[in-house]
C-alpha cells in the first residue's frame, strides 16, 4: 500500500535510525580509547616509588555519604605485598589511620600492576588542599607522601 502523502516524519525518520545505529559505535570507541589526565610527579617513600593519576578532571562526587575522587596509583618501585594498609585523602593534612579504619573509603586496592582508591576529599578542593598517601608496612613503618593539587582540580 503506497502512502500518498509524504509527511515530515516519513521523510526524516531515517536520520533518527542512523543516529541510533551510530551511537553504539561511538560508545565502543570511547570505551576502548579512554583519555586520562597525566600521571603526577613520582615520589619515593621507603622502598616504594609512587605516582598517582586522577581518573578524570571532575570534582569529587558523593559516594556512601562521603565525597571522594578516584585515583590510579602506579607503584614504579617496591613490592606492594610489603604494604599492610594504604590510604588516600585530599585535604590540608593526612587523616590518621584510625579515621580510615572506620570505613572502606580511601583504601588502596588492586593488583601488582596498579592500585585504585576512592580518595576521601572535601566537596570542593581548595588551593590549600593536598593529596596525601599514607602507607603502613607489615613491619609497622609509616610513610606519608603529599602532592600539590594541580590548578584544574581546584574550585574557587
The DSSP line for 78-116 is S-GGGEEEEEEEEESSPPPHHHHTTSSTTB-EEETTEEE
All three cell numbers of 43, joined, read 615520589
Within 10 Å of residue 137's Cβ, how many Cβ atoms? Answer: 18
Q: What is the mean pLDDT of each run of 10 residues along the chain (156 residues)?
A: 79 92 94 92 93 93 91 92 94 90 86 90 94 94 94 84
C-alpha cell at 55: 581518573
For residues 64-83, b (16+ Cβ closer than 10 Å) or e, as one string? eeebbbbbbbebeebebeeb
State the pLDDT at residue 1.
63
Select from 151, 133, 9, 155 the least CA-distant residue to 72. 133
Q: Which ranges constitute the DSSP H helices of the chain?
A: 8-32, 97-100
What's residue 28's pLDDT? 96
CA 111 to chain centre: 16
Amino acid at each position: 500500500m503506497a502512502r500518498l502523502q509524504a509527511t515530515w516524519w516519513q521523510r526524516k525518520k531515517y536520520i533518527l535510525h542512523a543516529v541510533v545505529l551510530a551511537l553504539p559505535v561511538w560508545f565502543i570507541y570511547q570505551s576502548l580509547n579512554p583519555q586520562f589526565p597525566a600521571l603526577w610527579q613520582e615520589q619515593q617513600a621507603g622502598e616504594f616509588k609512587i605516582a598517582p593519576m586522577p581518573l578524570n578532571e571532575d570534582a569529587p562526587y558523593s559516594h556512601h555519604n562521603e565525597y571522594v575522587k578516584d585515583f590510579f596509583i602506579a607503584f614504579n618501585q617496591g613490592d606492594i605485598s610489603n604494604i599492610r594498609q594504604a590510604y588516600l585523602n585530599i585535604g590540608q593534612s593526612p587523616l590518621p589511620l584510625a579515621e580510615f579504619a572506620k570505613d572502606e573509603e580511601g583504601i588502596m586496592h588492586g593488583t601488582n600492576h596498579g592500585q585504585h582508591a576512592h580518595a576521601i576529599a572535601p566537596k570542593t578542593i581548595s588551593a590549600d588542599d593536598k593529596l596525601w598517601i599514607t602507607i603502613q608496612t607489615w613491619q609497622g613503618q609509616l610513610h606519608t607522601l603529599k602532592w600539590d593539587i594541580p590548578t584544574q582540580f581546584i574550585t574557587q
